[in-house]
Structure 1
Amino acid sequence: MSTSTATRRAKPHAGAAWTVLSLACAGQFMVILDSAIVNVALPSIDRDLGFTATGLAWVVNGYLLTFAGFMLLGGRAADLFGPRRVLVAGLSLFAASSLAGGLAAAPEVLVAARVTQGMGAAMMAPATLVVINTWFTEEHARARAFGAWSAAGGVGGMAGAVAGGAITTGLSWRWVFLINVPIGAVLIVVAVMSLAGTPAGRREPLDLAGAVTGTAGLAALIYGVMQSADHGWTSVQVAGPVVAGLLLLVVFTVVEARFAGRPLMPLRLFGIRGVAVGNGMLLLFGGIAIAMWYFTSLFLQNVLHFSALQAGLGQTPAAVTFMVIARWASALLPRTGVRHLVLAGCGCFLVGFGWLSQAHADSGYVTGVLGPTLLIAVGIGLTFPTLMAAATAGVPEDDAGIVGGVAVTSNQVGGSVGLAALATAAGARAAAEAGESAPAALAAGYDLVFLVAAGLAVAIAMVGLLLPGPPARLTGRNAAISRRRSSEAPGR
């Protein structure tokens, strides 16, 4: 860490650290909530604005596309211009586009607002990670902060269905967007006041070639994967963008390795084992999360005939379990190391998804869904904050933003690819069971998804063997260094 960076942030007291953590968690909650809350409101939006069948999907896809595609750029911006500026700018863009979406009178306006919302989210998510990395430097405090941040995102995703249904039914679909305006305004004030001591950035020029090729490559790849829901994987609509995206990412890698003076994504960071292995596991974990939250919701609605609101409430016990376990796992992380928590989580995935794959149209909610999803939620609570901490640990403070952006991008890309691939597999299996009743055929497709998720758990466990085990006991000079760093940590 450079001297200038180390001296830019004054030592905060415990109350300030709590405020900063609350701000980071609230920002992450908003980002993830908005990726899910719109789903329940789509029929009402369609009735009011008159979308085409394909156009309505872009109310969701427009947000997800720019959120994942601009994440690397948002992360590097937080490094160059400081997390305070980028978080405030992201919150402002997010709130303004939410206002535009809530007042939209035409389909094109709403889609444009959702695209802009995704850009704001791509600035907010990595900026909140930079805030945690720079504010919480002591190992135990940092692990607890990541647990709270992870839990906030998980609860945001789960709250989306419940909140979306309640707001749409009680008020209007427009308030799904308008609710972000006052919340965003409050968070902007909190960010301006509480982050005054955070690093101000490095004032270096942006790697324009890397920004263009990296952002365009990710956006094209994700766009192509999204198209697979309506077209075959070998169609021009899918293969064209996917191939173009992969080629652009190859060009991006060459630019970063050979030509960029100050690269957008310094490839040397992948020489850190936690960054390389952690991001690989987050990529696989994206498929686990999709199988749990998305396909379980579909099973409840399409097989057990729950309403969207009932499905959201039916998943709430798992969301609460995840939140509790994530905080507990973060407290354990400094003592157990990354590997043991990840392997324990994968064991929960293997048993939970194996159990869930036995559910069928005649299954009851408690034994068929609730039991296995609680077990899977324990696994997610053990692994997600642990992987995020591993994927962002040991990096220079000046690179915290881009590394955080890469970690969130890995998880988002894994989820996007996982959703497309698993939906294709579920559809093919359901079609093969066409002789059965519709709920039974759909159940067979979802059961296949849950078995694939169990296989992903095995893959994550195998990669997890490359991660560090329990920390060695500190003695002598290393113990003295650790004590000195702990005494200098924020909030101590």
Structure 2
Amino acid sequence: MSTLTHAEPQIAMTGRQKLVLTLLLGAQFMIAVDFSILNVALPVVGEGLGFSLTHLQWIATSFALAAAGFTLLFGRVADLVGRKRLFLGGMAVLGLSSLMGGLATSPEILLIARVLQGLATAAVTPAGLALLTTAFKEGPLRERALGLNGALMSAGFTAGAILGGLLTDLLSWRWAFFVNVPVAALVLALAPSAITDSRPAVRPKLDVPGAITVTGGLLALVYGLTQAGETGWTTPTTLAALIAGLVLLVGFWFVEQRADAPLVPVRIMKRRSVIWGNTAGLIAFVTETSLVFLLTLYLQEVLGYSPLATGLAFGVLGLGTVLGGTLGGRAVGRLGTRATIIAGGLVQAVATLALIGLGTSGSSIWLLLAATFVGGVGNMLVIVGFMVTATSGLPDEEQGLATGLATMTQQVGITMGIPIMSAVATARMTALGDTGAEGVLSGVSVAILVNSALVLVGAVLAAAFLKRR
């Protein structure tokens, strides 16, 4: 006890570190909000700008393609040009593209704005995480900072649904874009003097073949997954995109083995902490974001909730993720990353499994609120454990690479979860021949079961392959 008491003053954050943390976390929270803020407003946006129903998905897909496809590339670019410079440039593009989206008068302008928002996200997220990990050395401070970062990223995804509903109902869908502008301006005003830049001592060359294969592979893979959710897994377009994505990603592995200055050194990809830490993170993001989608279907199609009421119901999940994020750093410090990931995964799996008890009665909302709160805590324990695992044991000059990989895992997980679970729920409804409330409930229940099993698999893999503390 005395040792812990004496050590406490040594791990207190300085005033400058608190300001840096606030700026970086504010930016990351805004990025997370952008993933979901338009989800409940898509039909209104479509009506306002003349999107056809079949093309409405591209408002979300255009953003996701750019955000997931270019993250790893920009993570490396941050090491080349400086993380601070890329972070500030990305925030400027995010603010301007958000203004462009809010002022859009046609589908084409809106989609261009969404692509630019996605590219800005791909730049800001890994650069911001790299600045965070280099501002806080390995140990309790970094674990606390990454815990708060994970909590706000997950809470931001939930808050986006709430905020999108509120802004759309009270003002206009355009404010889902405009809300970014003052936040970006504030970060750009304060960050240049507060944040210290970091970059490798020797500037490496950019691996162009690696950049082309990994970016093309991720774009094709995310596009294929998105198409699977829209048109099914066996359509020619879906299969062609998925196969092309896998071929390019396999090609990326071989390109990196021969490159003089690889985008991702093979020795990094062979590290157990990187492989299995990112696997745990991928499963955490796939399952929690897709669960929000499944429960949105349940609340609106079975219980008849409005978009705004649906968004507010997820506020409890947001509270759970914030609590899990604040506990995550402490759990990693006491238990280690492996035990934290396993414990969080088991809690999330059990809480998700409990949702199979949802029914058509309005009283089921209490089960949903309790289970999503507990599951949110467990999910954030996994995410914090993943972030610490995936960025530990590497020198500062490789933090941009490590955070780029971690961010790519996050973006791909958020993007691919919904089409996977949507396909599972749709297959069940098709088999029953029922798209009414009972059919939707059955489809959602089967997908929830698959979701829970996937979380359990992640916990088992972490137990089997991550090193003990």
Same fold, judged at TM 0.5 (above): yes
Give me the whole-angstrom Cα distance separating, in 1, the residues matched to 2:267 and 2:104.
Answer: 45
Alignment of 1:51-450 (within 5 A): 51-199=51-199, 202-258=202-258, 260-362=259-361, 364-434=363-433, 438-450=436-448
1:367/1:38 Cα in 2 relative to 1: closer, same or farther (>3 Å)?
A: closer
Counterparts of 2:227 and 2:155, CA distance in 1? 28
Equivalent residues of 1:37, 1:163 under 8 A apart: yes
CA distance in 2, matches of 1:281, 1:381: 12
Q: Which amino acid aligns with 2:450?
A: V
Residue type at the aligned position of 1:456: L
Cα distance in 1 for partners of 2:162, 2:116 equals: 24
Q: Is 35-44 or 282-291 further displaced after alignment? A: 282-291
Contact 2:230/2:419, CA 8 A, preserved across alignment: no
2:229 touches 2:420 (CA, 8 Å); kept in 1? Answer: no
Unpaired segments of 5 or more residues in structure 1? 1-11, 471-492
Contact 1:28 1:125 in 2 (8 A): yes
Tell me, in whole angstroms, the C-alpha distance in 1 between the residues paired with 2:110 and 2:17: 37
Q: Which amino acid aligns with 2:372?
A: T
Q: 1:417 to 1:42 in 2, by over 3 A?
A: closer
1:147–1:327: 8 Å Cα contact kept in structure 2? Answer: yes
Question: Given the superposition, is the C-alpha separation of residues 140 and 408 from structure 1 closer, same or farther in structure 2, using an over 3 Å criterion?
Answer: same
Runs of 4+ in 1 over 6 A off after TM superposition: none
Deviates more, 1:213-222 or 1:278-287: 278-287
Task: Report the AA paired with residue 329 of structure 1.
Answer: G
Relative to 1, partners in 2 of residues 1:198 and 1:16: Cα closer, same or farther, differing over 3 Å? farther
- Superposition deviation, residue 271 in structure 1: 3.1
- Local SS of the residue matching 2:393: coil
SS in 2 for 1:310: helix
Q: Which amino acid aligns with 1:143?
A: E
How many pairs align? 457
Q: Which runs of 5+ in 2 are unaligned?
A: 1-11
> Separation in 1 of the partners of 2:203 and 2:96?
27
Give 1:256 shift. Answer: 0.9
Distance 2:177 2:413 in 1: 27
The answer as to whether partners of 1:81 and 1:200 remain within 8 angstroms in 2 is no
Q: Distance in 1 between matches of 2:420 and 2:182?
A: 38
Aligned to 2:449: 451
- TM (norm. structure 2) is 0.93
Question: In structure 1, how many angstroms separate the alpha carbons of the residues matched to 2:296 and 2:421?
Answer: 14
Deviates more, 1:202-211 or 1:221-230: 202-211
SS at match of 1:371: helix
Q: Give 1:368 deviation, angstroms.
A: 2.9
Q: Distance in 1 between matches of 2:67 and 2:101?
A: 16
Deviation of 1:204 after TM superposition, in Å, equals: 2.9
Q: In terms of mean alpha carbon deviation, does 359-368 or 130-139 score higher?
A: 359-368
The residue type equivalent to 2:346 in the other structure is G
Question: What residue identity is the alignment partner of 1:29?
Answer: F
Measure, in 2, the Cα distance between the counterparts of 1:239 and 1:375.
37
Q: 1:13 to 1:288 in 2, by over 3 A?
A: closer
Counterpart amino acid of residue 227 in structure 1: Q
Q: Provide the identity percentage.
A: 35
Superposed displacement of residue 295, structure 1: 1.3
Partners in 1 of 2:443 and 2:69 — Cα distance? 30
Q: Distance in 2 between matches of 1:252 and 1:358?
A: 44
Quick check: 1:290–1:418 contact (8 Å CA) kept in 2? Answer: yes
Contact 1:87/1:191, CA 8 A, preserved across alignment: no
CA root-mean-square deviation: 1.8
8 Å CA contact 2:200–2:397 kept in 1: the answer is no
- Alpha-carbon distance between aligned partners in 1 of 2:426 and 2:443, rounded to the nearest angstrom: 6
Tell me which residue corresponds to 2:8: none
Q: Helix, strand or coil for the counterpart of 1:204?
A: coil
Q: Which residue of 1 aligns with 2:3?
A: none
